[in-house]
Amino acid sequence: MNIAPIRIAPSILSADFSQLGEEVRAIEAAGADLVHFDVMDNHYVPNLTIGPLVCEAIRPHVSIPIDVHLMVEPVDALVPMFAKAGANIISFHPEASRHVDRTLGLIRDHGCRAGLVLNPATPLGVLDHTLDKLDLVLLMSVNPGFGGQKFIDSTLDKLQQVRARIDSHLRDGGEPIWLEVDGGVNAGNIADIARAGADTFVAGSAVFGAPDAGGGYRTIMQRLRDEATKFAR
């Protein structure tokens, strides 16, 4: 059996913003595969976070990809700005774009990988005509807007359904698509999430809120990876 890569993407929403450069350097040194960058606009979601200038500021501090999750409406105006700021992956919610296909094309035209984000109650039908344009599908396992929420268990069934769609897409000759999960991921549930089909895991408070046992973030990052690998496909 081929073991798919396990990717851990700490969300800097839970980092210490007073020393963000140091924080992203620390997670890369601890083994992070991506930096997850949550953008909230106090419009599409009830919170206000960070924008392209912060992305540009942290870009020189890490060599790993920056995974930008846009929780904003509208989307298109921000895509070129984040691409210029150093984003490698840009994902957005289909509800926030009037023309999903056009937005996906815009992301790729600016040299970034493109992803769609599905909220807990968003049906999967939006994937029917977009998989050939996607590099990533991100399932929200909490309602977007705040960190530190509890994982919604019904996400596991939804993950299995998306994994089946991606596998069918691959059998038909399509390009690989990452399956990412965001919300309430921790060392206690990441194995079940991996078993349901995820290969990329956003973890905020589980990483940045972990007690420092002398090794910085390395201990918790390795534990997350080890647990996820138990049931990796």
Cis peptide preceding 74, ω within 30 of 0: yes
- Answer left, alpha or beta for residue 157, where phi above 0 means left and psi between -120 and 50 means alpha: alpha
Q: Hey, what amino acid is at 71? A: M
38 among known catalytic residues: yes
Enclosing H/E stretch for 115? strand 113-118
Alpha-carbon span 128 to 102, nearest angstrom: 16
The closest of 2, 12, 21, 34 to 225, measured between CA atoms, is 34
Q: Residue 205 CB: number of other CB atoms within 10 A?
A: 17
38, 41, 135, 199: the catalytic one is 38
182 among known catalytic residues: yes
135, 182, 192, 199: the catalytic one is 182
Alpha-carbon span 156 to 219, nearest angstrom: 26
Alpha-carbon span 27 to 169, nearest angstrom: 33
Active site positions, annotated: 38, 182
